[in-house]
Amino acid sequence: MRRRGFLRAMGSAAAAMAAAPLLKGAAVLEAAVAPPAETGGKRPLGTTGIAVSPIGIGAMTTRDPDVIRYAVDKGVDYVDTADCYMGGENERIVARALKGIRGKVVLASKVHIAAADRMIRSVENSLRSLDTDVIDVMQLHGISSEAQVADDGAREALRRLIDQGKIRVAGVTTHSGQDAVLRAVMRHGFYKTVLVAYSFRSDMGLNATIKRTLGSGPGLSGVIRAAGAAGIGVIAMKTQAGGYTVSGSPLSPHQAALAWVLSNPGVTLAIPGMVSFAQVDDNLAARGKQLGWSGTKALALYSRAIGDRHCGLCGGCAGACPRGVDVQGVLRSLTYREGYGRDDLARQSYRELGPGGAHACLSCDGCVVSCPLGLAVGRLARRAHGALA
């Protein structure tokens, strides 16, 4: 941004802040200087040669194939699933939804790091479950470190699958260590897409907002901008900050949340979960919308409704617990229960944290973990353990 343009933007932001004292400065600044949203046309998925609409569907919690088919009829052309969702049933639900219309969508699934032959068998099982000859985007699931991005065995397995024509593109997904994973993907060059947890609660505070608006400095938003500029196809998940219910909003808070995510030029598309026809209609109405004043107000109301219940997955607490509790993982599991209303998914996620979970929090005299969102980490962790252990 040129100096004159920057000063003009800052002046607009200052005027906006003065006009709306009830809104947080960070949210107002974002609304004042964020680039306008796309008009709803297709966007290139990095350098993959694939172009997609800005809103797809994350099918993880979708049990009705008719909902997925309805979304495709409404213009959704990216569907994301995984072999581990619903014990494999989710891929079969997606297959039923796409019967006869497979060619209309970009289909993405996932595989976990394992021995090369085991990974190949897993992908071949997914091909059968999805009733397709090729999976467009196969993602290495749950990556949290550069070492995993650089894993030679995983890359060799995926390279063989690409050579065999069973997958088109290799990517990764990440819930933790996201900044490091994005940078590693840019540095190593093999993976072409990254599925990242990203919402309006990912980076908080006025200083962080200024830095991400200018595309500099730390913060997930800035790294996403850099990854997009480097040709990585960035796909945003968990965009709805838990999907909590809000009333009295001038704009659907979920539309505003999507508009916020899609205003980052590094993001190609968002894949919110949709489990009903009404959710499809609500989310797709966000296509082409700019955040604006009504959207900013909607997010302010949404933030109040969420309160201290939702982890922004910013990674600021990583390694902070002296007793080794995976705070982010614990709070993500709690969100599955209280935000998604999915007790089964919450329990599965909590079990995957390993023995103990947040058990150590029960006997802790005082939590020393500082959360950028101000969450009462100790109290929430104890609540998660009581509900999910």
DSSP assignment of 228-246 equals HHTT-EEEEESTTTT----
Residues 255 and 180 in one domain: yes
Residues 136 and 216 in one domain: yes
Q: Which of 264, 290, 316 finishes a domain?
A: 290
pLDDT average, residue stretch 100-118:
97
160: phi then psi, degrees, rounded to nearest 5: -60, -40
Residues 235 and 351 in one domain: no
> What tens digit of pLDDT does each residue of 8-26 get?
444 444 433 333 333 333 3
Cα distance between residue 263 and residue 30, in whole Å: 9
Residues 359 and 283 in one domain: no
Question: Quick one: which H or E segment has residue 73?
Answer: helix 65-73
pLDDT of residue 251: 64
Domain total of the chain: 2
| pTM of the complete model beyond 0.85 | no
Residue type, 251: L
- 266: three-class secondary structure by DSSP: coil
31-61 burial, b for 16+ CB within 10 Å, e for fewer?
A: bbbbeebbebeebebbebebebbbbbbbbbb
The encoded tokens of residue 255 equal: 């539309």
Which region, left, alpha or beta, applies to residue 333 given φ > 0 means left and ψ of -120 to 50 means alpha?
Answer: alpha
Residue type, 331: L
Please check whether residue 264 is in contact with residue 225, taking contact to mean a CB–CB distance below 8 angstroms: yes
pLDDT of residue 9: 44
pLDDT of residue 309: 67
The strand pair at 233-237 and 193-197 is best described as: parallel
> What tens digit of pLDDT does each residue of 178-223 get?
999 999 999 999 999 999 999 888 876 444 554 555 554 558 899 9
> What tens digit of pLDDT does each residue of 240-290 get?
876 666 666 556 788 888 999 999 999 999 999 999 999 999 999 988 888
**Mean pLDDT, rounded, of the chain:** 83
Within-domain flag for 9? no
Please give the residue range of the domain that contains residue 363: 327-388
Residues 278 and 331 in one domain: no
Within-domain flag for 128? yes
pLDDT of residue 218: 56
Residues 211 and 351 in one domain: no
Within-domain flag for 35? no
Residues 336 and 213 in one domain: no
pLDDT average, residue stretch 320-330:
85
pLDDT of residue 2: 47
Please check whether residue 259 is in contact with residue 290, taking contact to mean a CB–CB distance below 8 angstroms: yes
Within-domain flag for 145? yes
Within-domain flag for 336? yes
Nearest to 225 by CA among 266, 272, 274, 260: 266
Within-domain flag for 299? no
- Residue 99 burial class via C-beta count within 10 angstroms: exposed 0-12, middle 13-18, buried 19 and up: exposed
pLDDT of residue 206: 40
